[in-house]
């Protein structure tokens, strides 16, 4: 009798698990956090749903800051969760102490650099900030990138005429010390600043590309040597380009034509020792190109924020509309869409200076934020991804 009862109970659990998995597919990720603690069967159904059905996707997080000293900011940021198609508000407790302009790099790194302090954050929700002494050489607009979650590379942008404008320093998160290494390539002598370069990094290599020319160098943190230059412009019609990392592979987005007449926006995956192997993986639909331009007749540049297989593309001059694309397992763009930036007010302009990051956000990250009291979440509005 007991054996028969156990078999009936087991079948009931399986049916209930299937139903739960279906229900969980429609529940926003932030509302699934309490489910982890209800029971083992619910916990199994939850993670099965996230693994096999409606999988989590990288979040886009928009951070706001006033553009003038004392660089105050709201004690919150907004985030778009594509799995749930929701804009969420992330409330920070305590608010971050802002010491200078807030900047982003590698899509995951936030940092501020002043003459007295270097502050940075690289956790998915940017609720934890680290403080360090500034680099040995004072810099105003350096290239900054994080490698293997241990080393932060700061290159170029030196201010004092007595300093090497191409100097490079590495900060070790374990030893909490700065070290100097080989200067960045001389080809960047007149453009060794973040405003002219596009930066990307995987676990082993930092890439820096001049956006106007496509000339690229790579940096190995182990040998501390710069390699290159490499010319990534295989198409002479490209007039502006940016790079990023998707699944440890280097990708490039290029604007073709000219700023007054954008003919195409395309994405390539680059491979080979000298990046000689180009594979076009997607071309942006014309209607989305027009959305990036907004009311302007021209498009001189774009920026991207990406993690994994999801890219968010925007016009830095008018970030009202975001273009979203996803890369599938065959390494082709399988989906294009557009998204209204929740930081834009009803008047159609960004209320404050906006800085974007992108990161994989798990249930564990959300649970940790809520448990620590550093972050709380509320719904702003539906994403309405088109």
Least confident of 106-115, 155-164, 320-329, 370-379: 155-164
The Cα 73–Cα 138 span in angstroms is 25
Q: Which residues pair with 198 in a beta bridge?
A: 209
pLDDT band, residue 200 (cuts 50/70/90): very high
Residue 7 clears pLDDT 50, i.e. is over it: no
Q: Name the residue among 206, 207, 216 with its Cα closest to residue 238.
A: 216
Please give the mean pLDDT across all residues of the chain. 84
Q: From the CA atom positions of the chain, what is the Rg in Å?
A: 23
pLDDT for 12 equals: 41
Residue with tokens 């004072």, as numbered in its chain: 138
The Cα 262–Cα 258 span in angstroms is 6
Q: How far apart are the first and last CA of the chain?
A: 56
Burial (0-12, 13-18, 19+ Cβ within 10 Å), 300: middle
Q: Name the residue among 165, 144, 148 with its Cα closest to residue 208.
A: 144
Q: Give mean pLDDT, residues 131-144.
A: 88
pLDDT band, residue 74 (cuts 50/70/90): low
Element (H, E) at 315: none
Contacts for 17 with CB less than 8 Å, ≥ 6 apart: 41, 44, 45, 48
Q: Which residues pair with 383 in a beta bridge?
A: none
The Cα 43–Cα 20 span in angstroms is 10
Q: Which two tokens stand for residue 298?
A: 């021209």
- DSSP per-residue letters across 226-246: EEEEEE---STTEEEEEEEEE
Residue 350 clears pLDDT 60, i.e. is over it: no
- Contact indicator for 280, 331 with CB cutoff of 8 Å: no
What are the φ/ψ torsions at residue 138 (nearest 5 degrees)? Answer: -75, 130
pLDDT for 57 equals: 94
Q: Name the residue among 145, 117, 148, 142 with its Cα closest to residue 131.
A: 117
DSSP single-letter state for residue 75: S
Least confident of 46-55, 62-71, 94-103, 167-176: 62-71
pLDDT band, residue 106 (cuts 50/70/90): confident
pLDDT band, residue 101 (cuts 50/70/90): confident
Residue with tokens 């929700």, as numbered in its chain: 125
pTM of the model: 0.87
What are the φ/ψ torsions at residue 228 (nearest 5 degrees)? Answer: 115, -170
DSSP single-letter state for residue 248: T
Q: Name the residue among 236, 325, 234, 327 with its Cα closest to residue 272.
A: 234
DSSP single-letter state for residue 54: S
pLDDT for 348 equals: 44
Q: Which two tokens stand for residue 55?
A: 């999988």
Of residues 128 and 194, more confidently modeled: 128
Residue 178 clears pLDDT 60, i.e. is over it: yes
The Cα 374–Cα 12 span in angstroms is 40
What are the φ/ψ torsions at residue 70 (nearest 5 degrees)? Answer: -85, 25
pLDDT band, residue 383 (cuts 50/70/90): low
pLDDT in tens, 210-234: 999 999 999 888 888 888 889 998 8
pLDDT for 73 equals: 58
Going through 160-297 in order, the beta strands assigned E by DSSP cover 168-172, 177-181, 197-201, 206-210, 215-220, 225-231, 238-246, 249-258, 261-271, 277-283
Of residues 304 and 36, more confidently modeled: 304
Q: Give mean pLDDT, residues 48-74.
A: 80
Residue 244 clears pLDDT 90, i.e. is over it: yes
Q: Which two tokens stand for residue 284?
A: 């942006």
pLDDT for 123 equals: 94
């Amino acid at each position: 009798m007991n054996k028969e009862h156990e078999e009936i109970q087991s079948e009931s659990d399986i049916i209930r698990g299937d139903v739960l998995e279906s229900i969980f597919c429609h529940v926003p990720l932030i509302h699934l956090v309490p489910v982890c603690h209800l029971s083992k069967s619910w916990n199994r159904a939850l993670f099965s749903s996230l693994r096999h059905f409606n999988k989590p996707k990288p979040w886009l997080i928009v951070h706001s800051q006033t553009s003038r000293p004392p660089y105050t900011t709201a004690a919150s940021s907004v985030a778009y969760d594509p799995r749930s198609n929701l804009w969420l508000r992330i409330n920070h407790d305590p608010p971050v102490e802002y010491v200078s302009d807030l900047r982003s790099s590698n899509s995951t790194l936030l940092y501020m650099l002043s003459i007295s302090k270097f502050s940075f954050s690289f956790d998915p929700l940017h609720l934890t900030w680290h403080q360090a002494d500034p680099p040995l050489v004072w810099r105003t607009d350096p290239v900054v990138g994080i490698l293997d979650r241990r080393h932060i590379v700061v290159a170029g942008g030196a201010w004092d005429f007595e300093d090497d404008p191409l100097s490079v320093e590495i900060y070790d998160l374990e030893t909490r010390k700065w070290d100097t290494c080989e200067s960045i390539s001389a080809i960047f002598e007149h453009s060794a600043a973040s405003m002219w370069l596009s930066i990307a990094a995987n676990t082993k290599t930092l890439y820096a590309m001049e956006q106007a020319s496509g000339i690229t160098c790579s940096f190995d943190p182990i040998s501390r040597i710069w390699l290159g230059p490499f010319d990534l412009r295989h198409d002479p019609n490209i007039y502006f380009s940016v790079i990023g990392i998707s699944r440890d592979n280097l990708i490039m987005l290029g604007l073709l034509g000219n700023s007054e007449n954008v003919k195409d926006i395309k994405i390539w995956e680059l491979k080979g020792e000298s990046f000689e192997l180009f594979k076009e993986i997607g071309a942006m639909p014309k209607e989305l190109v027009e959305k990036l331009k907004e009311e302007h007749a021209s498009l001189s540049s774009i920026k991207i924020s990406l993690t994994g297989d999801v890219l968010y593309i925007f016009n830095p001059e008018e970030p009202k509309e975001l273009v979203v694309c996803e890369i599938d397992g065959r390494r082709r763009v399988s989906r294009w869409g557009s998204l209204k930036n929740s930081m834009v007010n009803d008047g159609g302009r960004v209320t404050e200076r906006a800085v974007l990051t992108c990161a994989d956000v798990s249930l564990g990250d959300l649970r940790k934020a809520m448990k620590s009291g550093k972050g709380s979440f509320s719904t702003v509005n539906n994403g309405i991804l088109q």
